[in-house]
Amino acid sequence: MKIIRRKSKVIKVGGIYLGGSYPIVLQSMTKVKTSEIEKTLSQIRELEENGCEIVRIAVRDSQDTWAIAKIKPKTKIPLVADIHFNWKLALEAIDKGIDKIRLNPGNIYNKKQIYEIVKAAKSAGIPIRIGVNTGSLRVKKDRSKLREAQHMVKFAMDYIRVLEKFGFYDMVVSLKASDILTTIEAYRKIARLCDYPLHLGVTATGLPKYGIVKSSIALGCLLLEGIGDTIRVSLTDSPVQEVKVAKAILAGLNIRRFGPEIISCPVCGRCQGDLIGMVRELEKRIANLNFKAYASLLKIAVMGCAVNGPGEARNADIGIALGQRDAVLFEKGKIGKRVAFKDCLETLWRKIRKNYEQSIKV
Ligand code: SF4
């Protein structure tokens, strides 16, 4: 199945391009007070190391905008100021060198104030995200998911028109609900009504066990339809976890690759060893190799026995299937040597490293 991406405008956030045929960008948000500069910087760096490409920070007061001036010179990743209620903070954030502003139409709607923000964003050459959330819609709560999606779209479109009237077209749009169907419906609708890049996300999804499922369904469905130019997975968890899940969604849909893919079986009574531990160890080692530097296409199969092992490993570049006393290695569909159980992880690891070393020479 080929994904046909919706045609959108291209906008620039710091050094990152959003929209058009540019890769779908990963973003997340820090979860500490922005005015606590060292903590904020440490989360930004951790996010960057884990592949995040744009970071949003909460801006609640002038201490936070003051912190932007201190944080910006110490990081290269584009930063977005998340502004609610107090429009003047947007001006301050722009003045301190922020790369993008997120406005919530639900709480900043005075046209004179919007005009001032637009004027400042335009002269700084930075974009604005119109970030609608169901939680802050200025309409009566609607039980119908369809109507709620319509409200969100109308809200966003009205705001877009206001900015366009002011001669501003450097926009990104998001329509987040905590309900999957409302989110999908809203994005589908707005995708037909404007050509601005879309920032996808489901809001308030809860703990990872729920949030990962909700985000994967909603974002997966939209991405398959070619909708979405940047994604943020919201979880009641660390920002790094959000980025890891966002990467897994894009990699799972074959939209982007961030390193080797590990195919491993679910394990059953036929498995003779600690396959789960082995796969976790491999994943940890692969993450440390910083494979993302060259977007490896390596496919590694780790299977618990010969029932499915050889079959799955046939599609993998390298793999092992555990046996009763030893394991069998596979390479590009060919069965290789048998290795003792205790050596199989290291043998597989040596092959992965060799592939890595060859690829970084290219
Ligand atoms: S590959 Fe073998 S061990 Fe793994 S789940 Fe299938 S049958 Fe069980």
- pLDDT, one tens digit per residue, over 245-290 is 999 999 999 999 888 889 999 999 999 889 999 999 999 998 888 6
Ligand 1 centroid vs 270 CA: distance in angstroms?
6
Q: What are phi and psi of 206, to 5 degrees?
A: 100, -160
Asked, for residue 78, whether it belongs to a domain, the answer is: yes
Residue 93 and residue 39 in one domain: yes
Asked, for residue 1, whether it belongs to a domain, the answer is: no
Mutate to test the pocket of ligand 1, among 262, 263, 264, 267 (most ligand atoms within 8 A of CB): 267
Going edge to edge, which strands form the sheet with 25-29? Answer: 171-176, 128-133, 100-103, 79-83, 54-59, 25-29, 230-232, 199-200
Q: What's residue 158's pLDDT? A: 96
Determine what percent of the chain is predicted with pLDDT higher than 70: 95
Task: Round to whole Å and give the CA distance between 199 and 27.
Answer: 9
- 208 touches 241 (CB < 8 A): yes
Q: How confident is the model at residue 139 (pLDDT cuts 50, 70, 90)?
A: low
DSSP code string of 244-269: HHHHHHHHHTTS---SPEEEE----T
Q: Which residues pair with 175 in a beta bridge?
A: 132
Query: Which letter does DSSP use for residue 325 in this model?
Result: S
Using the predicted structure, report yes or no on whether residue 328 has a pLDDT greater than 60: yes
Q: How confident is the model at residue 354 (pLDDT cuts 50, 70, 90)?
A: confident
The last residue of one of the domains, among 210, 225, 252, is: 252
The last residue of one of the domains, among 208, 226, 252, is: 252
Residue 95 and residue 214 in one domain: yes
Residue 344 and residue 287 in one domain: yes
Asked, for residue 4, whether it belongs to a domain, the answer is: no
Give mean pLDDT, residues 200-220: 96
CB atoms within 10 A of CB 54: 23
Ligand 1 centroid vs 359 CA: distance in angstroms?
31
Residue 145 and residue 294 in one domain: no
Residue 266 and residue 117 in one domain: no
Mutate to test the pocket of ligand 1, among 307, 320, 322 (most ligand atoms within 8 A of CB): 307
Residue 144 and residue 244 in one domain: yes
Residue 303: give the domain boundaries: 261-361
- 58 touches 77 (CB < 8 A): no
Q: Considering only CA atoms, which residue is closest to atom 7 of ligand 1?
A: 307
Q: What's residue 141's pLDDT? A: 66
Using the predicted structure, report yes or no on whether residue 142 has a pLDDT greater than 70: no
Residue found by looking up tokens 């990467």 in the block: 247
Q: How confident is the model at residue 362 (pLDDT cuts 50, 70, 90)?
A: low
Residue 156 and residue 284 in one domain: no
DSSP-derived 3-state class of residue 27: strand
The identity of residue 60, as a single letter, is: R
Q: Is the CB of 308 under 6 A from ligand 1?
A: yes
Number of domains in the chain: 2
In this structure, the dihedral spanned by the alpha carbons of residues 321, 324, 325 and 326, taken in order and rounded to 10 degrees, is: -10
Give mean pLDDT, residues 304-321: 81
